[in-house]
Amino acid sequence: MAGGEIMTMPGRILGIGVGPGDPDLITLKAVRALEGADVVAYPAPLEGESVARKIAQPHIPDGVEELPIRMAMDPRRYPQQDVYDWAEGEISARVEAGRCVVILCEGDPFFYGSFMYLFERLTRRWPVEIVPGVSSLTACAAQLGMPLAARDDALAVIPATLDEDDITARLAAADTAAIIKVGRHLAKVRRALERGGLLEHAHYIEHATMADQQISQLADKKDETAPYFSMVLVHRRGAATR
Ligand SMILES: C[S@@+](CC[C@H](N)C(=O)[O-])C[C@H]1O[C@@H](n2cnc3c(N)ncnc32)[C@H](O)[C@@H]1O
């Protein structure tokens, strides 16, 4: 439960992590939440499939109401306050009617999840229960067979949306790093790693645990195209165990 002035609640709201892609990487608690849902809400592009819904699909019971929260996946329009305001109203109306609303979040809800914009609005009125999920950070490390950090290592999570000097400085201050939101920023990420002498230790992964997962040493990846769901993991010593 979170928030300040909480109203007595006719229904229930849960924000659940559905994990990074493999539907088996959802927690038992999240599956149980879905089994008790009257309404399943999820972020979705203006057209096409929701990643979170696709991951949770095998666990969504027949007959529940679905509430797609559609928005343009354009970082220049992000976050889309009008869409979150609308979604807050739709969810609140269902809670007032005594229904249980489960909101799907890719990975973990509180690890860079856009869910937090909705959470901030909903918790002005209602308690919101959070079910943590397997995040892409640990899923990528697992798929790469690369322990993230050991002993006194300082781990940095660095959004690739930062500028090149900032990424370079943050890499220099860390023993080990996860560079997220790689997408169209891959060339810049590569330059920052080269400047820090870290390119040879950098591992690239896209769509971790999904059917189309791709893995390579970043130095071996010859093109600069990457999907949004991609990450670079790098350890200064080459491996946390050294
Ligand atoms: C907005 S953040 C959301 C993270 C998510 N809440 C989590 O717990 O993993 C999106 C970024 O997470 C990373 N990501 C999420 N899922 C991924 C996956 N299956 N494979 C690789 N990277 C992923 C990518 O770097 C992507 O740009």
What mean pLDDT comes out for the span 200-204? 98
DSSP class of residue 154 equals: P
Per-residue pLDDT band for 8 (boundaries 50, 70, 90) equals low
Per-residue pLDDT band for 185 (boundaries 50, 70, 90) equals very high
Radius of gyration of the chain (CA): 19
DSSP secondary structure, 8-42, as one string? P-SSEEEEEE-BSS-GGGS-HHHHHHHHT-SEEEE
Q: Please state, in angstroms and rounded to a whole number, the distance separating the CA atoms of residues 184 and 180.
A: 11
pTM: 0.94
Ligand 1 and 55: CB distance under 6 A: no
- pLDDT value at residue 2: 46
Q: Is the pLDDT of residue 135 over 90?
A: yes
- pLDDT over 90 percentage in the chain: 92
Please state, rounded to an integer, the average pLDDT across all residues of the chain: 94
Ligand 1, residues 180, 216, 218: which to mutate, most atoms within 8 A of Cβ? Answer: 180
DSSP secondary structure, 50-86, as one string? -HHHHHHGGGSPTT-EEEEEE----GGG-S-HHHHHH
pLDDT in tens, 27-85: 999 999 999 999 999 999 999 999 999 999 999 999 999 999 999 877 666 678 899 99
Q: Is the pLDDT of residue 130 over 60?
A: yes
- pLDDT value at residue 1: 45
The answer to whether the beta carbons of residues 160 and 179 sit under 8 Å apart is: yes
Spatial CA neighbour of 130 closest among 10, 8, 17: 17
The answer to whether the beta carbons of residues 215 and 204 sit under 8 Å apart is: yes
pLDDT in tens, 187-199: 999 999 999 999 9
Centre of ligand 1 to C-alpha 114, Å, is 11
Spatial CA neighbour of 2 closest among 116, 106, 97: 116
- pLDDT value at residue 7: 55
Residue nearest to atom 11 of ligand 1 (CA): 181
Ligand 1 and 135: CB distance under 6 A: yes
187 against 9, higher pLDDT? 187
Report cis status (omega within 30 of 0) of the bond before 79: yes
Which pair of tokens denotes residue 176?
Answer: 């080990």
